[in-house]
Amino acid sequence: MPTAITDVFDAELIRRYDTRAPRYTSYPTADHFHPGFGPGDYQRVLCTRADAPLSLYVHIPFCPSPCFYCGCHREITRQPGPIQDYLEALEREIALKAALLEQSGPVVQVHFGGGSPSFLASDQLARVMDRLRAHFDFAPKVEMGIEADPRNLDAAGVMLLGQMGFNRLSVGVQDFDPVVQAAINRRQSYAETEVVVRAARAAGFDSVSLDLIYGLPHQHPERFETTLDQVLTLQPDRVALYSYAHLPERFKAQRQIPASALPDPSLKIRLLEQAVERLTEADYVHIGMDHFAQPNDPLANALTQGTLHRNFQGYSTHGGCDLIGLGVSAISQIGHCYAQNTKDLQDYQTSLNHGALPVRRGITLTREDGLRQEVIQALMCQGRVCYRNIRARHGVEFAAYFAEELLRLETAATDGLVRFTPQALEVTPRGRYLLRAIALPFDAYLKRNGESLRHSRLI
């Protein structure tokens, strides 16, 4: 992996390839799940799954106040009643899905997302963890992560998380600039964040990651430099550097952000380049897309060893797991099927109160889907598609089968983003910032007449 930023970051190329594309946390992507796949289908899948290791995702949708940039599925409340009702339904779902597993397999990974899982009281989180351990067989060593908001978590709370078994903390920062924070309704001081990060270190957490967003209202390179200084002072194990996707037609809270306050495209790319340069100078390894990790981090090791995986939580070291999603809107991946719970909180609770699975849509992959899923996963994670592997697992000659797709990538090859060798299609270091655009031709669900407009831009 080259060390000079000029070897990997080409602002002009990024500007030229800044199209709309899925993030490919799944293939087919979630917008192609359909209601024809329902609770009965999911139940059959659970009952007949192979004995693979399990990854559990638990969605806690609650936040005490809205962050205007947010596109996650969340519920705003400060009332204890709705939270307690939800947790009771969540416990029913845990018991119901665990009971349907003919072969449970060991749980090797758990992730709590939201919303703001750290908004729950410690005894509430402990209760959920107790229910998970009671119904699933946990491996001796489990990677347990939780998304944390420093505004509702202190050092004592972090220590309690460690006692529950959590060993990975993902901390939302976005930007420390007070002007930006006021515009996005998220006032969070550096001191609050430092307390949480230091407490996680003291509690023996294996990893602390920080999330940043570029392209937010009123962001400016000089003030963003201060944020980068503060982030690097905290020395996180991982940094996620997300692009703000302004989609007010889909996310109501974003209507509070006037488009006129957003950086123009050239300034947004400058902010990205600035962050990439600082992280690279600090020896962080670019994992792919918007993820960076310290050289000794398991993600960096997985990238080097070719075992990196991608799922709904982003890049992961746990390939080969079946994923069971728990909670409103949560997505499961079992074998060759995806299943998503209802996004409606009342519907979720009513279903579980009646002992019914809250699955409302999903998809069973065809052989064609499985082939393209492997190609896209290989591009996003390994940056390389080995023709021999595709032939061995799917019985097709890559160059002939994907002749049209390779033709569409010829411009990318000319621009130095990919290269064609007799053995593989390879993404160059420069192309790793444009993985979504490179994967796009292999997506059979996206028509070339603009269907991808529903997705966010790359930058």
pLDDT digits (tens, 9 = 90+) for 85-96: 999 999 999 999
CATH top class, domain 29-323: alpha beta
pLDDT digits over 324-353, tens only? Answer: 999 999 999 999 999 999 999 999 999 999
Strands 418-420 vs 359-364: parallel, antiparallel or unpaired? unpaired
- 227: amino acid identity, one letter: T
pLDDT digits over 249-283, tens only? Answer: 989 999 999 999 999 999 999 999 999 999 999 99
Q: Give the helix ranges, DSSP H, for 101-164.
A: 122-135, 155-164
Terminal alpha carbon distance of the chain: 22
Helix (H) or strand (E) holding 1: none
Residue 425 has pLDDT above 70, yes or no: yes
Query: Picking from 14-28, 145-159, 221-235, which range would have the lowest pLDDT averaged per residue?
Result: 14-28
A 10 A CB-CB count for 266 gives 9
Q: What is the mean pLDDT of residues 184-200?
A: 97
Q: What is the mean pLDDT of residues 52-80?
A: 93
Distances (CA, A) of 210 to 21, 67, 175, 239, 290: 24, 17, 11, 5, 12
pLDDT digits over 297-306, tens only? Answer: 999 999 999 9
What's the rounded Cα separation, in Å, for the pair 429 and 419? Answer: 11
Nearest alpha carbon to residue 247 among 23, 453, 17: 453
A 10 A CB-CB count for 242 gives 18
Give Dmax over CA atoms of the chain in angstroms. Answer: 62
Residue 310: phi and psi, rounded to 5, are: -135, 130
Using a 10 angstrom Cβ sphere, with 0-12 exposed, 13-18 middle and 19 or more buried, the burial of residue 389 is: middle
Q: Would you place residue 7 in the very low, low, confident or very high pLDDT band (cuts 50, 70, 90)?
A: very low
Instruction: Say if residues 419 and 426 touch (Cβ distance below 8 Å).
Output: yes
| pLDDT score for 289 | 86
CATH top class, domain 1-17+366-459: mainly alpha
Q: Give the helix ranges, DSSP H, for 165-247.
A: 178-184, 190-202, 221-234
Return mean pLDDT, the chain.
Answer: 93
| pLDDT score for 72 | 86
Residue 359: phi and psi, rounded to 5, are: -65, 135
Instruction: Using the Cα atoms of residue 170, residue 175, residue 178 and residue 182 in order, give the sign of their dihedral.
Output: negative
pTM: 0.94
3-state secondary structure of 143: strand
Domain assignments of the chain as residue spans, ordered by start: 1-17+366-459, 29-323
Residue 45: phi and psi, rounded to 5, are: -65, -45
pLDDT digits over 346-397, tens only? Answer: 999 999 999 999 999 999 999 999 999 999 999 999 999 999 999 999 999 9
Residue 174 has pLDDT above 90, yes or no: yes
